């Protein structure tokens, strides 16, 4: 699975933005046909995606497509228009249960087979942004091995439970935690919510760091200015990498000497601390750092 520290939404009816996105060196680009696109521009968005996937050079960036929700009545046409151009993955918004995941997976598998592409060559991520989705997380996570990630949709979720958004986001704590928990349990990625204030990059950085500290593996973004801040926040710092290396090296030596627990810099290190250090090194490697 590719690292997705930042996933940039691009309203796909806007060709200029598609080209801009392709130049940003962002981990993941999500060409949107859903809420970023007006109803009378859906068809332009579909056509732009089909053509951009064939002609635009996206560099190292992953190319995802967010279709409309299954309840909208537009999803089938969205899939029909984009799947044959082989996106790297599909994002389904506003899912409520596993049946919807199954429905989309069947359509993707059929197109893969018809084109002779490998089964699973098109990834799937789902937006968890309704109360039903949170309640049905376990079934959603286990219905199809194509699923690679859960994405938390804060604004839709807050609206659907009648919550008022706050800076501390305590009204979202249960749902955000549930997303991280299920992603970890089923070996999926977890993408945190969008920061809406385009000017406030320090606020974005703080929220990205708090998401990373909760266990999210990446964050959705909406503007080119947000790429670097978020990709950095989800890359372990040089100090964190250095310390993790020391923990792992020391652990090997102590294991040889028959000690499971030991002290490093005045703090106890045992198996879970070593595991956390190994995870930091893994994340650093996934972000392209030489460790």
Q: Which does 32 bind (CB under 5 to 8 A by kind): ligand COA, Mg ion, none?
A: ligand COA
Smallest distance from ligand COA to CB 36, Å: 3
Q: Is 278 in the site for ligand COA (CB under 6 A)?
A: no
Member of 156, 194, 230, 241 binding Mg ion (CB under 5 A):
156
Q: How far apart are CA 1 and CA 167, in angstroms?
A: 32
Residues 6+ apart with CB under 8 A from 236: 244, 280, 281, 283, 284, 287, 289
Q: Is 17 in the site for ligand COA (CB under 6 A)?
A: yes
Q: Is 16 in the site for ligand COA (CB under 6 A)?
A: yes
Member of 151, 222, 241, 280 binding ligand COA (CB under 6 A):
222
Q: Is 218 in the site for Mg ion (CB under 5 A)?
A: no
Smallest distance from ligand COA to CB 20, Å: 4
What SS3 state is found at 222?
Answer: coil
Residue closer to ligand COA by CB (options 69, 244) is: 69
Closest residue to bound ligand COA by CB: 36
Q: Is 270 a catalytic residue?
A: yes
Member of 87, 149, 153, 218 binding Mg ion (CB under 5 A):
153
Q: How far apart are the first and last CA of the chain?
A: 19
Residue closer to ligand COA by CB (options 72, 142) is: 72
Q: Is 176 in the site for ligand COA (CB under 6 A)?
A: no
Member of 223, 245, 246, 285 binding ligand COA (CB under 6 A):
223
Q: Is 35 in the site for ligand COA (CB under 6 A)?
A: yes
Left (φ > 0), alpha (ψ -120 to 50) or beta: where does 258 sit?
left
Smallest distance from ligand COA to CB 176, Å: 16
H helices of 63-142, in order, are 75-82, 98-115, 131-135, 137-142
Catalytic residue among 25, 197, 200, 270: 270
Q: How far apart are CA 117 and CA 31, in angstroms?
A: 21
Using DSSP bridges, classify how beta strands 262-264 and 267-269 pair: parallel, antiparallel or unpaired. Answer: antiparallel
Give ∠ CA 245-61-53 in degrees, rounded to 5.
Answer: 160
Residue closer to ligand COA by CB (options 169, 247) is: 169
- The secondary element (H helix, E strand) that includes residue 190 is strand 189-192
Q: Is 236 in the site for ligand COA (CB under 6 A)?
A: no
User: Are the C-beta atoms of residues 148 and 183 closer than 8 Å to each other?
Assistant: no
- Give Cα 63 distance to the centre of its chain: 12
Q: Is 159 in the site for ligand COA (CB under 6 A)?
A: no
Residue 107 neighbours by CB distance under 10 Å? 15
Q: Is 165 in the site for ligand COA (CB under 6 A)?
A: no
- Contact segment (CB under 6 A) with ligand COA among 49-57, 114-122, 216-224, 255-263 equals 216-224
User: Are the C-beta atoms of residues 28 and 6 closer than 8 Å to each other?
Assistant: yes
As a three-state string, the secondary structure of 231-243 is HHHCCCCHHHHHH
Q: Which residues are catalytic?
A: 270
Residues that bind ligand COA (CB under 6 A): 8-11, 16-17, 20-21, 32, 35-36, 194, 222-224
Interacting residues toward Mg ion by CB under 5 A: 129, 153, 156
């Amino acid at each position: 699975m590719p690292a997705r520290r930042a996933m940039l939404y691009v309203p796909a009816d806007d060709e200029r933005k598609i080209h801009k996105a392709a130049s940003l060196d962002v981990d993941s680009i999500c060409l949107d046909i859903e809420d970023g696109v007006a109803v009378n521009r859906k068809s332009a968005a579909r056509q732009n995606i089909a053509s951009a996937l064939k002609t635009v050079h996206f560099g190292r960036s992953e190319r995802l497509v967010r279709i409309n929700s299954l309840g909208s009545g537009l999803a089938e046409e969205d899939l029909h228009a984009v799947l044959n151009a082989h996106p790297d993955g599909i994002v389904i918004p506003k899912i409520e249960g596993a049946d919807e995941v199954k429905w989309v997976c069947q359509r993707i598998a059929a197109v893969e087979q018809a084109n002779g592409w490998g089964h699973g060559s098109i990834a799937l991520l789902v937006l968890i942004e309704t109360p039903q989705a949170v309640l049905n997380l376990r079934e959603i996570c286990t219905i199809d091995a194509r699923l690679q990630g859960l994405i938390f949709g804060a604004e839709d979720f807050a609206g659907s439970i009648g919550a008022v958004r706050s800076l501390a986001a305590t009204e979202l704590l249960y749902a955000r935690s549930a997303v991280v928990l299920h992603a970890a349990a089923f070996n999926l990625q977890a993408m945190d919510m969008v920061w809406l204030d385009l000017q406030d990059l320090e606020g974005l950085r703080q929220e990205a760091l708090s998401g990373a500290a909760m266990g999210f593996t990446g964050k959705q973004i909406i503007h080119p200015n947000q790429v670097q801040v978020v990709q950095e926040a989800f890359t372990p710092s040089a100090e964190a990498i250095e310390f993790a290396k020391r923990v792992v090296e020391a652990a090997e030596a102590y294991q040889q000497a028959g000690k499971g627990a030991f002290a490093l810099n005045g703090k106890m290190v045992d198996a879970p601390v070593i595991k956390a250090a190994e995870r930091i090194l893994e994340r650093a490697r996934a972000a392209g750092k030489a460790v």
